[in-house]
Amino acid sequence: MVGTKRYLPPESLSKILFPQSFEVVQKGDVYAFGLLLWEVSRRTLINGKSYEYEVAFENEVPSDPTVDELYNLVVTQNYRPKIPSEWKNNNILKNLEKIMIDCWFNSPQSRPKMTNIRRRLRDINENSLN
């Protein structure tokens, strides 16, 4: 495995045999992107305050979790990072939340393509300027 275990998608943690096509690898990156988007979004100022920096699953697993610990959390418990309730009151964060949730689907085939995410991010940006 290459990269940080914390960002491995469910299919890599569970060792489910998906054909190792380029698309499956890309969809693993989409899952990781959703986690990074959550981390960055937590630092967004809302009403003058933001959350402390936190990596995905920081409070649920040790700082250097094993694949088994992550498997139990992400696959067995179907756990995903908690979305702060305040985000529902902010149009930008509410739309980013929708992207994150789509990125975190268990099945790689259910996750959006990065071109779709790019379009959605561009739309969020354009709408925020109006």
- For the four alpha carbons of 101, 105, 111 and 114, in that order, the dihedral sign comes to positive
Query: pLDDT for 39-98, tens place per residue?
Result: 999 999 888 888 999 999 999 999 999 999 999 999 999 999 999 999 999 999 999 999
Q: How far apart are CA 3 and CA 7, in angstroms?
A: 8
What's the whole-model pTM score? 0.90
The CATH number fitting domain 5-129, selected from 3.65.10.10, 3.40.50.2020, 1.10.510.10, 2.60.40.1120: 1.10.510.10
Residue with more model confidence, 70 or 20: 70
Q: How far apart are CA 123 and CA 37, in angstroms?
A: 16
With cut-offs at 50, 70 and 90, classify the pLDDT of residue 1: very low
| Average pLDDT value for the chain | 91
